Amino acid sequence: MADIVSIATASPPFAHKQVDILQYMQKAYQLEADEKRKLTFLYHHSGIETRHSAIPDYGDTNANWNFLPKNNQDAFPSIEHRMELYKKNASLLSIEAIKKCIGSHINSDQITHLITISCTGMSAPGLDLEIMEAMQLSPSLFRTSINFMGCYAAIHGLKMAKFICDSEPDAQVVIVATELCTIHFQKEYTLENASSSLLFADGSAAVLVSNNRTSTKALQIESFHSQVAFQGKTDMAWEISSKGFLMTLSSYIPQIIKEDIDLLITAALAKKELTVADIPYWCIHPGGKKIVDVIEQKLSLTKSHTKFARKILAENGNMSSPTILFVLKEIMDSAIESGENIFGIAFGPGLTMETFLCKKK
């Protein structure tokens, strides 16, 4: 059985308090008093305390900005400028996470498969080749990329890693999910842009999946389940434009999740003849405070069940694809006992709901 041997995370150097980001957004959007009050209310109820960004501007309340123009009438950064920032920062952050992840488990030249995940930047040659060259990995390394799947993509990466390990007993698979969401800040003050600027942050997480490496924290991968709620396909979307990547994030998403979560989780757990009562640890992607609240209420979970998701939301915000791995690392580092089940769930464009089940070895 394929095991999650290790998870490591990395964050950009610029950590911004949510209260400072609020002031920054009010200035960047040049809001009138009434809109400032509305945005203040949303920020104070976000469940987020700190977010990281590759951009030093993001929490600068004095408008000493370099990435963004000081005058809202000036042109905002082009897609080319945003991709330059991605190229400059994404590989460095990914390599930091990978090196911490493989640590004492394997050497870099023992990596047999590399899966890169991102939806905030694209180029060819891309992130995978940049990592290979910088870390001097084998030029014949098996590599593949998962792009533009959004917040659930890391689960898809775990699924792919398990398929690889099931077919190649000696495989040492490294997954790295890296997102720089903040480089896609948009100047127009719309509900979607305000929601994105409220939630999203930057970060990276790497995972080592193997059949033959031991670890006191290892988790055995059991199963996966996926479901698409097409009625929500226009409520969560991520599109490329000349102005950057544009996020659609509807306020109806928690309601859609609430309507479908029962059937999804029942079907996922039925694969292993389990019920909600059999899951002591819940690895929930904190797409937003309301999403965590809805899942907690709908499944009759306790604050103890959702504390890992809430902690990552508070300390990091929503980093898209790496976020679920940040939560899973928190669970791995806790006092989880052998044989205990972990159920993971994340959401993304579609509206897609991806789940995984694993247990402590």
How do residues 54-91 score in pLDDT, each as one tens digit? 998 887 777 677 887 776 677 788 899 999 999 999 99
- Is there a domain that residue 271 lies in? yes
Residue 284 banded pLDDT, cuts 50, 70, 90? very high
Q: In the chain, where does DSSP find H-type helix?
A: 18-28, 33-44, 79-102, 127-135, 153-167, 191-199, 253-270, 289-298, 303-316, 323-332
For residue 191, is it within any domain?
no
Query: What whole-number percentage of the chain has pLDDT above 90?
Result: 68
CA distance 168 to 162: 10
Calculate the alpha carbon distances from 197 to 39, 92, 173, 300, 355 in Å: 10, 24, 34, 31, 27
Checking if the pLDDT of 276 tops 70, the result is yes
Q: Which two three-digit tokens encode residue 256? A: 């859609």
Range with lowest mean pLDDT among 109-118, 242-251, 274-283: 242-251
Q: How many CA atoms lie within 13 A of 348 on its CB side?
A: 25
The H or E element spanning position 118 is: strand 113-118
pLDDT of 12 higher than 90:
yes
In a domain, 311, yes or no: yes
pTM of the entire predicted model: 0.95
In a domain, 121, yes or no: no
Q: Could you tell me if residue 29 is inside a domain?
A: no
Q: Are 342 and 151 in contact (CB under 8 A)?
A: no
Q: Which residues form the domain of 276? A: 219-360
Residue 194, pLDDT > 90, answer no
Average pLDDT, the chain: 91
pLDDT at res. 66: 82
* Residue at 284 is within a domain: yes
pLDDT tens digits, residue range 125-168?
999 999 999 999 999 999 999 998 989 999 999 999 999 999 99
Note whether 161 and 173 are within 8 A (CB).
Answer: yes
Q: Report if residue 267 sits inside a domain.
A: yes
- Residue 249 · residue 236 · CB < 8 Å: yes
Q: How confident is the model at residue 322 (pLDDT cuts 50, 70, 90)?
A: very high
The confidence score (pLDDT) of residue 80 equals 93
CATH of the domain at 236: 3.40.47.10
Whether 231 maps to a domain, the answer reads: yes
**Token code pair at residue 357:** 């089940």
Q: In terms of pLDDT, which residue wins out, 79 or 176? A: 176
